[in-house]
Amino acid sequence: MATMTETPTPARPKSKGRERHLSVGVRRFVFHLLLTAAAMVMIYPLLWMLSASFKPIEEIFSDPGLIPSTWEWSNYTEGWNALPHPFEKYIFNSMVIVAGSIIGNLVSCSMAAYAFARLRFPMRGMLFAIMLGTIMLPIHVVIIPQYILFNNLGWVDTFWPLIVPKLLATDAFFVFLMVQFIRGLPKELDEAASIDGCGYWGTYLRVIMPLCMPALATTAIFTFIWTWNDFYSQLIYLRDVDLQTVPLALRLFMDSTGTTNWGALFAMSIVALGPIFGFFLAGQRYLVRGIATTGIK
């Protein structure tokens, strides 16, 4: 009998797999190259300001390079002592306002968020909608009645107008952020705490707040950055030089006669960015967790 011979199946060429792997690698390389180029474009103004803080005044706008031809280290010492007070005075004033604002937002916004997310009370939905509507109000709409109120209270030229509103949960964005986070927590935790004898305050302090650390960290970081960089409100309420903050101090370097010390201005701008970078890097992990989990839930 004649034996039937099987025709061997042709093997897949290995060259196709290698070409596919190379094409994926090339796409990834091009993608990361474009991201790096975009990052360099965005970070260039910061690098330019850092470079300008070490340049003589006559070279700041005439030399576009990032490496100074002459290193002017005195810009930092001159900028630190150029104003009516050493620059540390303005940093201290900003730290006082920032600390009060962070504490106020963490306490008041978390309490308001817990009430909206967990408690049942009349007109809760309407009040929550009104609270969200305040996000669309620009500060220029409310600054005049607020100024009249604080002026009648004798709080102008003090830190109170910048700190007290934070104790009243006026930042609706942070209330909404925490409400979304708390709604994602299992309600069985509240029931278990109630069985163990915890009331509303006990559940808030012992159950909800420890689990809201990512949302609290996100609130603290954004409050720090927004309050530290706030120029408009601080310009309205702080007229005394002894009470002025970092943004107002940087404005004092601008001379109306055109003789601005640009080197000292850029040097103190770099100093002013230090606390923001430090606080952001310290809480970056919690910031990412807080935003990501709030968006998912």
DSSP three-state, residue 251: helix
- For residue 97, the model assigns a pLDDT of 96
CA 6 to chain centre: 70
pLDDT at 4 over 70: no
The residues, ordered by sequence, that sit 6+ positions from 68 with a Cβ below 8 Å of its Cβ are 51, 54, 55, 59
- For residue 293, the model assigns a pLDDT of 54
CA–CA distances in Å: residue 125 to residues 131, 181, 186: 10, 17, 21
Return the H-helix or E-strand segment holding 160.
Answer: helix 160-163
- For residue 254, the model assigns a pLDDT of 79
Mean pLDDT of the chain: 85
- Rounded-to-integer distance, Cα 59 and Cα 66, Å: 11
- Where is average pLDDT lowest: 17-21, 55-59, 275-279? 17-21
Phi-psi region of 84 (alpha: psi -120 to 50; beta: other; left: phi over 0): alpha
- Rounded-to-integer distance, Cα 206 and Cα 41, Å: 46
| Burial bucket for residue 7 (CB in 10 Å: 0-12, 13-18, 19+) | exposed
Q: pTM of this prediction? A: 0.82
- Rounded-to-integer distance, Cα 170 and Cα 107, Å: 12
pLDDT at 296 over 80: no
pLDDT, tens digit (0-9, with 9 covering 90-100), for 5-29: 555 555 555 555 566 666 777 788 8
Q: Which residue has the tokens 């009370």?
A: 121
In percent, the amount of the chain with pLDDT more than 70 equals 87
CA–CA distances in Å: residue 96 to residues 160, 190, 275: 11, 36, 13
In this structure, what token pair is assigned to residue 273? Answer: 């960015």
Residues 227, 106 contacting (CB under 8 angstroms) = no
Find the mean pLDDT for residues 132-137: 88
